[in-house]
Chain A
Amino acid sequence: MQVTEAFKHAFLKQMLLGFQASAVSTKSMGFQERKNAIKLSADVAMAVARGSRKWTRGLIAGLSEERQNRSFLRLILGEQYESLLKPCHSSWKIPRCKKIVRRSLRVCWRKQKKNQSGVLARTLVEKRTQELKRLVPGGESMDGSSLLDETLDYVLSLRAQVDLMQSLLTTFEASKLSRSGWRLKGRGKAKAYTVVAWEEHVLWRKYMRRR
């Protein structure tokens, strides 16, 4: 998976739309409520920007399980919501390298099992695989090779999510500092705000183009 400019743009736009939809800048909102709304927006944005994958469907389905999220999801995703919730049918045609990967995993598991004579206790590999299945959205219903594939994709998307949220945070914090800087210099508030906002906007666009 490549973290493209298109992905970054889609993620940011989708996340900010989510912020607007849940009105996170409302002063009366409690901290926990606001934080949850932000995290929800970020997760939906990540799934939407990535597109249709087993893990993105698993993520949306998992979020839908909580009643309070459903109206937000319906609002943000529109028609996509229903189609994203449909169970996916994995293709019966498995590419060769996936077959080999699955066999490799099975051999690893079998090698471990040989050391345990007839005991039903789980091997360490099986245990860890179960844990991974719980961590990757939709993982519970995945087979060995899908799990590997989806894990790779999910981790790369998570990394992108972290990077993008960090860069948004940095831009906001920088704009806040420069704003108070203007105030200290005693310039007209309205004009100062416009200048600062425009500078930040330019910096932001430059930053996005560079990454």
Chain B
Amino acid sequence: MPVEMSSRRSSRITDEEISELISKLQSLLPESRRRSMSRASAAKLLKETCSYIKSLHREVGDLSDRLSDLMSTMDSGSPQAEIIRSILRS
């Protein structure tokens, strides 16, 4: 999402630019996390972003667990193995 910035002579940062930055960070977060933040400060946003990244990491770990369970019972003749082979052929 590129942000179009008009040319500026003055070096002053407007409130508009700051809220643009904040909305960009906010758009990263899923709807459920955004609702509770009415007037988000930079610190709050950074905190939410950090906690969102951590929850995504946990999800990946959990999915790895579940895939591990499935792969342990997989033999070369199973449908899963065939699915794997067909994706690798593509």
A143 within 8 A of B: no
Near B by CB (< 8 A), chain A positions 80-112 give 96-97, 100-101, 103-105, 107-109, 112
Within residues 147 to 162 of chain A, which ones have a CB less than 8 A from any CB in chain B? 148, 151-152, 154-155, 158-159, 161-162
Chain B residues closer than 8 Å to A39, beta-carbon distance:
60-61, 64
* Among B49, B63, B68, B75, contact of A155 (Cβ-Cβ < 8 Å): B49
The chain A residues found within 8 Å of chain B, CB to CB, are 9, 12-13, 16-17, 19-20, 24-25, 27, 29, 31, 34-35, 38-39, 42, 96-97, 100-101, 103-105, 107-109, 112, 124-125, 128-129, 131-132, 135-136, 148, 151-152, 154-155, 158-159, 161-162, 165-166, 168-169, 171-173, 175-176, 178-179, 193, 196-197, 200-201, 204
Chain A contact surface mostly: helix
Q: Which 8 pairs across A and B sit closest by C-beta, in order of nearness?
A: A128-B46, A175-B79, A197-B82, A108-B42, A39-B64, A165-B63, A35-B68, A158-B56
Contacts of A108 in B (CB 8 A): 18, 42
Give Cα A104 to B5, complex, Å. Answer: 13
B50 contact from A135, A168, A175, Cβ within 8 A:
A135
What residues of chain A lie closer than 8 Å to B65, measured between beta carbons? 35
A-B contact pairs, 30 of them (CB 8 A): A16-B88, A25-B71, A25-B72, A25-B81, A27-B72, A31-B72, A38-B64, A39-B64, A42-B60, A101-B21, A108-B42, A109-B42, A131-B50, A132-B49, A151-B28, A151-B49, A154-B53, A155-B28, A155-B52, A155-B56, A159-B56, A162-B59, A165-B64, A169-B70, A172-B67, A173-B70, A179-B78, A179-B79, A193-B79, A197-B83
- Is A13 touching B74 in the complex (CB atoms < 8 A)? no
A176 touches B42 (CB 8 A): no
Please count the residue pairs between chain A and chain B whose beta carbons lie under 8 angstroms apart in the complex. 153
* Contacts A125-B42, A176-B80; A12 near B53 (Cβ below 8 A): no
Q: Is the CB of A169 within 8 A of B66?
A: yes
A158 touches B53 (CB 8 A): yes
Q: Are A135 and B70 in contact (CB under 8 A)?
A: no
Decide: A38 and B88 in contact? CB cutoff 8 A.
Answer: no
* B8 contact set on A, CB distance < 8 A: 100
CB-CB nearest in chain A for B81: A25
State whether B63 touches A162 (Cβ < 8 A): yes
Q: Are A161 and B60 in contact (CB under 8 A)?
A: yes
Q: Contacts of B2 on A, CB cut-off 8 Å?
A: 97
In the bound complex, residues from chain A placing their C-beta under 8 Å from that of B68 are 24, 31, 34-35, 38
